[in-house]
Amino acid sequence: MNILKRKFSLASLIILSTPAILIYVYFLIYPLMQSVVFSFYYWNGLAGVAKEFIGLENYITIFSAPKFWNSMLNALWFLLGGFVVLMPISFVLAIIITSKLKGVRFFRSAFFMPYILPITATSLIWIFLLYPDGGLVNNLLEFVNISSINWLGDPNIAIYTVVLVGEWISAGFYMLIFSAGMMAIPNDLYEAARIDGVNEFQRITRIMIPNLSETFRTFSILCITSSLRTFTLVWVMTGGGPNNATQVPATLLYTEAFQSRNFGSANAISTVLLFLALFLSFGVTKLISLFAGED
C-alpha cells in the first residue's frame, strides 16, 4: 500500500515537471544544440535542399570576415561604454535614490522608466530626436555652436550613438543594482563617520565604495553578458548599418541568415556567441572571485 502510494507520488511529480521541461527543451535547448550541429554544414535555407557537411569551413569563413571582427569590436564598445560611462552614471543615480532628498520616489520612478519600456519605442524616439536636420539633439547643440552631427548616418560615430542610447535605457536598471548594495551597508558605519566629521566625498570613497565590492562584481558580470545580447536596439536604430558599421554579433547573425541566406556561417556565429556567453558567465565569475580571493 505504502509503496503503491510512493509510486503514485513519483508519477505525479513527473507529470508536474513535464510541461515546463518539454517546452524549455523543445523551443530553447534543442534549437541551440541544432545551431551548434549545423554550424558544420552548408545550407542555403531552402526547405527541400539537403544540408551538406563541410567541417570547419563556416568557421573559417566567419573568422576571416572583417565584418565578424567588427561586430565583436562593437560588442566591445558596448562593454567599454558600460564600464566607462554607465557605471559612474548609475552609481551617482543610486546615491541620489538612496539619499533622503525630497522627491526621491519620483526620481526613482523616472530614472528606471526607460528600462521597462519596449526597446522598439525608445529606439524610435531616439532616431527621431537624433535626426540630423532639426532633431532636438542637434538643435540644442546649435545653442553652443556645435555644427550638426549625423548621429546615426555617419559610420564613424553611429556605434557610439547607439551605445549611448543603450546606456540611457539601462542606467536606471544598474542604478537599482547599486542602490540595493548601498542599502545593505550598515547605517552605523555612516553614523560613526558623521561623528568623525567625514565629508560627503570621503563618505563615498572611504565607506561606500569599499563596501560595494560585491555589487561591482555583479555589475561587471551583468555588463559583460548583456553586451553580447544587444539586438533590438541596434536592429531598430540602424539595422546594423550604415554599411555594417554598427553590426553586433546578434544582428550580424540575423542578417547573415535571413538576408544573405548564409545559414551555415550564421550558425557558426551563433555557436561562437553561445560558447562566449557561457564562458563569460562562468569564467568571469570564477576569475573575479579568484581576484577577490587574493585581496
Partner 1 sequence: MMKKLKHIIAFNRSKFIWYVVAVIWSLITLAPFVVTLISSFKDNSEIYGHMLELPSVWRFENYVMAVQDANILLCIWNSLRLTMMALSVLLIASIFVSYVIAKYWNKKPAKLLYGFFALGLMLPIYSTLIPLSEIMGTIDGFNNYSIVALIYVAFQLPMSVFLITSSMKIVPLEVIESAIIDGCEEFTMLFRIFLPISISGVATSAIIAFMAMYNEYILPIMFITEDSKRTIQQGMMYFKSDVLVQNGPLLACVILALVPVMVMYISFQEAIREGMTSGAVKG
Residues 89-118, interacting with partner 1 (CB under 8 A)? 89, 92-93, 95-96, 99, 101, 103, 106-118
Nearer to partner 1, 51 or 57 (CB): 51
Is-contact 235 124, C-beta < 8 A? no
Which positions from 15 through 74 interact with partner 1, judged by CB under 8 A?
A: 16-17, 19-21, 23-24, 26-28, 30-32, 34-35, 38, 47
Element (DSSP H or E) covering residue 120: helix 119-129
Q: What are the phi and psi torsion angles at 52 (to 5°)?
A: -120, 125
In the complex, least distance from residue 155 CB atom to partner 1, rounded to whole angstroms = 21
Contacts of partner 1 in 124-143 (CB under 8 A) = 124-126, 128-129, 131, 133-136, 139
Q: Which of residues 181-200 bind partner 1 (CB under 8 A)?
A: 199-200
Q: Which of 280, 252, 289 minimizes the C-alpha distance to 268?
A: 252
Nearer to partner 1, 56 or 140 (CB): 140
> In the complex, what is the shortest distance from the CB of residue 140 to partner 1, in angstroms, rounded to a whole number?
9
Residue 187 burial by CB count (10 A; 0-12/13-18/19+): exposed, middle or buried? exposed
231 counts as binding partner 1 under rule CB under 8 A: yes
Q: Which of 235, 240, 244, 247 binds partner 1 (CB under 8 A)?
A: 235
In Å, how far from its chain's centre is CA 66? 23
Give the nearest distance from C-beta 138 to partner 1 in angstroms: 9
Nearer to partner 1 by Cβ, of 23 and 84: the residue is: 23
What are the grid coordinates assigned to 277, written together?
Answer: 556567453
Task: Give whichever of 119 and 162 is closer to partner 1, judged by the CB atom.
Answer: 119
Identify residue 56 by its one-letter amino acid code: L
Distinct helix (H) and strand (E) counts, the chain: 15, 2
Beta strands in the chain (DSSP E): 41-42, 52-53
Q: How far is the CB of 122 from partner 1 (least distance, A)?
A: 8
Closest to partner 1 by CB, 99 or 289:
99
Single residue of 72, 149, 274, 288 touching partner 1 by CB under 8 A:
274
According to CB under 8 A, which residues from 237 to 256 bind partner 1? Answer: 250, 253-254
Restricted to residues 154-173, the positions that interact with partner 1 (CB under 8 A) are 168, 171-173
CB of 159 to partner 1, least distance (A): 18
Nearer to partner 1, 159 or 272 (CB): 272
> Do residues 263 and 38 make contact, with C-beta atoms less than 8 angstroms apart?
yes
Angle at 250 between CA 244 and CA 252, to 5 degrees: 30
3-state percent helix, strand, coil for the chain, nearest multiple of 5: 75, 0, 25
* Residue 218 makes contact with partner 1 by CB under 8 A: yes
Q: Which residues make Cβ contacts (< 8 Å) with residue 46, sequence separation at least 6?
A: none
